[in-house]
């Protein structure tokens, strides 16, 4: 600390799901922690293709991005020299108030609302799937490597490095494995509090990119590489605690194991899933992944141990009651890494909180293959096919008054304009070509 030859990057995870920021000399940290770095409102309209959509802000306005020393990481080379220092932060107005469109502040606000409405807070964890490009040895990508030791070996150096980077930066590694798809891997983290989990998801994506680049490969989190291919999902695990930190998701006396609060939370999720999908799976090609029989999610259903359910009650491996209560959680599978983890988790928490506020009853757990049922049969079960395009998802989002009440009109308008601009870039491109465009940027 205190040297001026190191750069700290103050960063945010924006609407495009990109980490953007500015660097300053490490020696300036004490002042930057107070005053932040200058930020421009129109930055929020830079989409994932670096095209600025029609901005309500134009060239006007100034903001500050204040780095949070508790939400950072340092990556060191073999000699111990820092090669990358990042601090995530909050965007504030010049008066020091949270900026409406700051994704991290939006999540903090969602967490506050859950506390106000229900006296609850969340424990969360993000599961990430990604694929390696430029595979030097081509060891995987061939058939026979799904979940295999051989497949894991092909990414072992990277996997060890990812775990090392996580552990050295207070992220707790959970699992690393060779996923089903060609050159596809998965890394999971142990759970933490809501804000911490989104901070960690943001940081972990970057750590994976760095670890892959060290092996001269590129990691992509793109939702899907080709229309017929395997999807790269983000699965968000959430459980509820009371203000004393006691886990309250589990009730051994209910059929599903969900407590009353957790059942209403789940009902809020399934009810609002179609209209928050544009925030959870926000690219045009996300909708190629969210189709039946891909182990992703295609309906707004609650499933028990069903990997096609968009909201899944996860199995527990613990045996004693307290450990079960702690482990019991809901997994939201209709997410991908084109989204900012902050917006993803904020939308999930708002939807769940709305379910609690409206005292919604537990959704019926589905067991069938929903894709073989007719629209009438689904409707009778209270289930809908999730939107099948970003355009449709954006329309549902814009039409849902609850979403405007959670996020405010400005955020909804900015989000819609941003995403409409992204769709305009893709206009006329085939699904294959759209996949190719997103592969360049995620």
Residue 89 touches which member of Mg ion, ligand GLU, none, C-beta under 5-8 Å by kind = none
CA-to-CA distance for 436 and 160, rounded, in angstroms?
A: 29
Tell me if 230 contacts ligand GLU by CB under 6 A: yes
Bridge partners, 123 (sequence order): 193, 239
Residue nearest to Mg ion (CB): 186
Closer by beta carbon to Mg ion, 344 or else 353? 344
**Min dist. Cβ of residue 184 to Mg ion (A):** 8
The stretch near ligand GLU (CB under 6 A) out of 18-26, 36-44, 292-300, 318-326 is 292-300
Under rule CB under 6 A, residue 237 binds ligand GLU = no
By CB under 6 A, what part of segment 324-343 binds ligand GLU? 333
H helices within 20-148, ranges in order? 29-35, 103-118
- How far apart are CB 135 and ligand GLU at their closest, in Å? 19
Min. distance of Cβ 333 from ligand GLU in angstroms? 6
If the CB atoms of residues 185 and 272 are measured against Mg ion, the closer one turns out to be 185
CB of 11 to ligand GLU, least distance (A): 26
Pick the stretch among 24-32, 226-234, 247-255, 256-264 that binds ligand GLU (CB under 6 A).
226-234
Provide the minimum distance between the beta carbon of 312 and Mg ion in the complex, in angstroms, as a whole number: 12
Residue 272 CA to residue 265 CA, distance in Å, equals 11
Instruction: Give residue for tokens 């592969």.
Output: 439
Q: Which does 231 bind (CB under 5 to 8 A by kind): Mg ion, ligand GLU, none?
A: ligand GLU
Cβ-proximal residues to 141 (8 Å cutoff; 6+ apart), any chain: 135, 182, 183
Contact 302, 270 (CB under 8 A): yes
| Residue 363 binding partner per list ligand GLU, Mg ion, none, with a CB distance cut-off of 5 to 8 Å that depends on partner kind | none
Distance CA 18, CA 83 (A): 20
35 is in the binding site of which of ligand GLU, Mg ion, none (Cβ under 5 to 8 A by kind)? none
Q: Which residues pair with 217 in a beta bridge?
A: none
Is residue 205 at the binding interface for ligand GLU, with CB under 6 A as the rule?
no
Q: What is the DSSP string of 141-152?
A: SSTT-TT-HHHH
307 counts as binding ligand GLU under rule CB under 6 A: yes
Smallest distance from Mg ion to CB 208, Å: 14
**Residue 186 or residue 422: which is nearer to Mg ion going by CB?**
186
Question: Token pair for residue 205?
Answer: 């994506």
Least distance from C-beta 335 to ligand GLU, angstroms? 8
Is 303 among the residues that bind ligand GLU (CB under 6 A)? no
Distance CA 148, CA 82 (A): 34
| Helix, coil or strand: residue 100 | coil
Nearer to Mg ion, 186 or 354 (CB): 186
Query: Which residue ranges make up the site for Mg ion (CB under 5 A)?
Result: 186
Residue 289's binding partner, choosing from Mg ion, ligand GLU, none, with beta-carbon cut-off 5 to 8 A by kind? ligand GLU
230 binds, among Mg ion, ligand GLU, none (CB under 5 to 8 A by kind): ligand GLU
Class of residue 380 by CB neighbours under 10 A (exposed 0-12, middle 13-18, buried 19+)? exposed
Distance CA 103, CA 199 (A): 11
Q: At what angle do helices 341-357 and 103-118 cross, to 10 degrees?
A: 20
What is the Cα–Cα distance from 318 to 247, expressed in whole angstroms? 14
Return the residue of 275, 296, 310, 353 that touches ligand GLU, per CB under 6 A: 296
CB of 194 to Mg ion, least distance (A): 22
Minimum distance of ligand GLU from residue 73's CB (angstroms): 25
Contacts with ligand GLU: how many residues (CB under 6 A)?
10
Run of H or E including 377: helix 375-380
CB of 222 to Mg ion, least distance (A): 15
CA–CA dist 174, 197 (Å, integer): 13
Q: Using CB distances below 5 to 8 A depending on partner kind, what does residue 57 bind out of Mg ion, ligand GLU, none?
A: none
Provide the Cα torsion 347, 352, 353, 356; round to 10°: 160
194, 233, 282, 341: residue in contact with ligand GLU (rule CB under 6 A) = 233
Cβ-based nearer residue to ligand GLU, 289 or 326: 289
| Interacting residue with ligand GLU among 17, 41, 194, 231 (CB under 6 A) | 231
Count of alpha carbons within 13 angstroms of residue 439, beta-carbon side? 17
**Alpha-carbon distance 160 to 178, whole Å?**
13
d(CA 86, CA 270): 36
d(CA 238, CA 349): 9
Q: What is the DSSP code (8-state) at residue 335?
A: E
- Does the footprint of ligand GLU cover residue 247 (CB under 6 A)? no
Instruction: Select the residue whose beta carbon is closest to ligand GLU and give its number.
Output: 233
Q: How many residues does the chain have?
A: 442
Interface positions with ligand GLU (CB under 6 A): 129, 230-231, 233, 289, 294-296, 307, 333
């Amino acid at each position: 600390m205190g040297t001026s030859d190191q750069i700290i990057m103050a960063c945010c995870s924006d609407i495009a799901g990109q980490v953007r920021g500015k660097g300053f000399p490490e020696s300036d940290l004490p002042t930057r922690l107070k005053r932040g770095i200058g930020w421009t409102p129109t930055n929020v309209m830079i989409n994932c293709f670096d095209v600025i959509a029609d901005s309500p802000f134009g060239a006007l306005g100034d903001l500050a991005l204040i780095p949070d020393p508790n939400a950072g990481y340092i990556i060191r080379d073999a000699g111990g020299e820092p090669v990358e220092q990042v601090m995530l932060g909050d965007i504030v107005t010049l008066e020091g108030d949270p900026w409406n469109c700051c994704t991290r502040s939006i999540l903090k606000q969602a967490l506050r609302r859950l506390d106000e409405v229900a006296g609850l807070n969340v424990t969360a964890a993000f599961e990430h799937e990604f694929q390696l490009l430029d595979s030097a040895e081509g060891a995987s990508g061939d058939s026979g490597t799904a979940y295999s030791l051989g497949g894991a070996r092909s990414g072992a150096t990277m996997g060890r490095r990812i775990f090392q980077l996580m552990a050295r930066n207070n992220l707790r590694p959970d699992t690393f494995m060779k996923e089903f798809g060609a050159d596809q891997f998965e890394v999971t983290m142990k759970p933490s509090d809501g804000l911490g989990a989104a901070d960690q998801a943001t940081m972990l994506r970057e750590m994976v990119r760095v670890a892959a680049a060290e092996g001269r490969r590129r990691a992509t989190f793109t939702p899907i590489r080709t229309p017929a291919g395997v999807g790269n999902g983000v699965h968000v695990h959430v459980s509820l605690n009371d203000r004393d930190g006691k886990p309250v998701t589990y009730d051994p006396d209910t059929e599903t194991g969900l407590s009353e609060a957790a059942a209403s939370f789940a009902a809020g999720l399934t009810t609002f899933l179609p209209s928050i999908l544009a925030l959870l799976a926000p690219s045009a090609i996300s909708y190629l992944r969210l189709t039946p029989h891909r182990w992703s999610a295609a309906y707004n259903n609650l499933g028990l141990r069903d990997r096609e359910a968009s909201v899944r009650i996860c199995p527990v491996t613990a045996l004693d009651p307290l450990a079960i209560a702690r482990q019991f959680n809901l997994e939201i599978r209709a997410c991908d890494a084109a989204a900012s983890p902050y917006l993803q988790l904020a939308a999930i928490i708002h939807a769940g909180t709305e379910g609690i506020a409206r005292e919604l009853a537990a959704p019926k757990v589905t067991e069938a293959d929903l894709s073989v049922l007719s629209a009438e049969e689904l409707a009778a079960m209270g289930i809908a096919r999730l939107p099948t395009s970003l355009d449709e998802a954006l329309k549902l989002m814009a039409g849902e008054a609850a979403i405007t009440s959670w996020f405010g009109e400005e955020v909804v308008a900015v989000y819609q304009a941003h995403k409409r601009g992204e769709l305009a870039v893709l206009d006329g491109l085939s699904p294959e070509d759209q996949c190719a465009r997103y592969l360049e940027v995620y």
